[in-house]
Chains A and B, each alone.
Chain A
Amino acid sequence: MSELEPFFDSCDDFERGLLRSVRTDAPAANAAVKTMAALGLDQAALAASAGTHIAAGTLVARYGSVLTVLKGLGVGLLLGFVTIGAAGWFSQRPSAESRHVPHALVDQTFETASGSAPLRPAEPPRAESAAAPPIALRGLPKSLLGAQLAAPRAAARAADASNSSAEPPSAAQAGSGALPASLPEPSGSGVPGPPSAVSIAEQVKVIDHARNSLKRGRASDALGSVNAYVQRWPNGALTIEATIVRIEAELALYDRPAAERDARAVIAALPGSRYATRVRALFAPPLAERDPM
């Protein structure tokens, strides 16, 4: 319709800022997975619909044996199970950059090529605190991981074996960054195998606890929960989700160097993925700093 002028051009900065803000709005990482479960789509469908990507095969091989057990345990646990595939699954989804992007909302400040350093110039790296286990993204398919991200399994197992609890860490425990004493024995130690239903449910619980802490403004608690998660499940199925919660918590605590470090790890491990897009969005410059579009 030629009589309609481009709307965005007629907006002032305030209105443009409002319209741009939808760019980073996204559902929770497991929302689509829950829908898949509600539709009765199982891992085989996920893998088939994702094509022949190696990660899909890895996903089914790794977790397929748990499916029957989880179905017997009801939808709640099934959702937890399906969630474990999110990292590999979402990495194969079309990235936000490759999907439809409203013409008025294209952010020219984001890099859309690979995951190399789209963030602001790095500040001097800080020394890692003892309360913050390094991000290794070990729960992701190996094919998606850079060698520098693969932490020694021996250390992971040692951490696994040293922890115990079925409940998410309490606020006080989480806030201190210490591992809660009540963590139960890990469901798997030694040779990594398919996670048990109980383990998956526990992992979901801890990550949900971290997210809820973040939503309530308790970033320190969220960080503590994430640290506890990483220590307890070094090869956890929700490591990527934990990492993103950690980044958000670090930003909330104004620890930008740590947040950038973790963000770079995510982007390097899963370039072009929904996770990379989401992480970049967390570092989007304030509206006032953006160039007019």
Chain B
Amino acid sequence: MRPASKTADQRLGQLVRAHFDEVWRALRRLGVTEAASDDASQEVFIVAARKLELIEPGGERQYLYGIAVRVAANARRARAARREDTDESALDREPSSLPSSEALLEEKQARLVLDQVLDALPQDLRTVFVLFEIEGFSLRELEQLLHIPLGTVSSRLRRAREAFHHAAQRIKRSRLAPGGAP
């Protein structure tokens, strides 16, 4: 698992330092539960450690996200296989009971709602949406990262945006409806 040389160790250390947070965040938005996100992030970097020599300088971020997309897909499949999806999701998305300040509370609740919206998207659309709209990749980068034609990336993004709007508005209406979530 470990790279053999000290130089490789240093590079791997730099990789973790520079990209851990954003990989963790991307995994969350790609559907990995909060409880599993630390382990999933760790898995991304363990895979990267094995492939370190294949990662071109300057291409680290893209490479890591490519791994993250696959790790997230595996995590979702494993979760579905355990038939624990509903319970875990419910736990993850349970609004915090912490009597937090308004700012904290709103930010956290907004993230919970965002994840609900993203959950409503088909996974292929979700992946493109998260990587483009939230993580800032370009369409060209996604073409390489996801190994799909550029036209497909564009098409998925358009559909993902529509699906996002639709899901967000549906949740917004349900929250505004009498008896809906605050």
Contact = CB atoms under 8 A, between A and B. Distances in A.
Q: Do A and B come from one complex?
A: yes
Interface of A: 1, 3-4, 7-8, 10-11, 14-15, 17-22, 24-28, 31-32, 34-36, 38-41, 45-46, 48-50, 89, 92-94, 96, 99-105, 214-217, 219, 248, 251-254, 256, 274, 281-288
B38 A4 contact: no
B111 interface: yes
Nearest to A254: B101
**B: interface residue count bin:** 35 or more
Contacts of B21: 26-27, 32, 96, 274
Contact of B22 (A10, A20, A100): A100
Interface stretch (B40-48, B66-74, B75-83, B119-127): B40-48
Question: Secondary structure of the A side of the interface?
Answer: helix
18 contacts: A4-B154, A14-B168, A18-B117, A19-B114, A22-B114, A26-B21, A27-B24, A31-B20, A31-B38, A35-B38, A36-B16, A39-B12, A45-B6, A45-B13, A49-B13, A252-B99, A252-B101, A274-B21
B40 to A, nearest CB: 11
A248 B37 CA distance: 22
Given A36-B16, A219-B98, A48 B10 contact: yes
Contacts of B41: 27, 31-32, 35
B127 to A, nearest CB: 15
B96 interface: yes
B157 interface: yes
Contacts of B22: 99-100
Nearest to B8: A45
A35 to B, nearest CB: 5
B2 interface: yes
Nearest to B42: A35
B133 A19 contact: yes
Contact of A34 (B12, B38, B136, B157): B38
Interface of B: 1-2, 6, 9-14, 16-18, 20-22, 24-25, 28-29, 37-38, 41-42, 45-46, 49, 61, 96-104, 106-108, 110-111, 113-114, 117, 133-136, 139, 150, 154, 157-158, 161, 164-165, 168, 172
Nearest to A288: B106
B98 A252 contact: yes
B101 A39 contact: no
B111 A21 contact: yes
A161 B45 CA distance: 42
B146 to A, nearest CB: 15
B88 to A, nearest CB: 16
**Residue from A18, A93, A101, A216 with most neighbouring chain B CB atoms (10 Å):** A18
Contacts of A217: 96-99
B28 to A, nearest CB: 6
Nearest to A100: B136
Residue of A11, A26, A32, A100 with highest tally of chain B CB at under 10 A: A32
A288 B180 CA distance: 19
A107 to B, nearest CB: 11
B32 to A, nearest CB: 12
B104 A282 contact: yes
Given A25-B28, A31-B20, A38-B42, A105 B134 contact: yes
B103 A284 contact: yes
B113 A4 contact: no
Contact of B111 (A22, A93, A99): A22
A282 B103 CA distance: 7
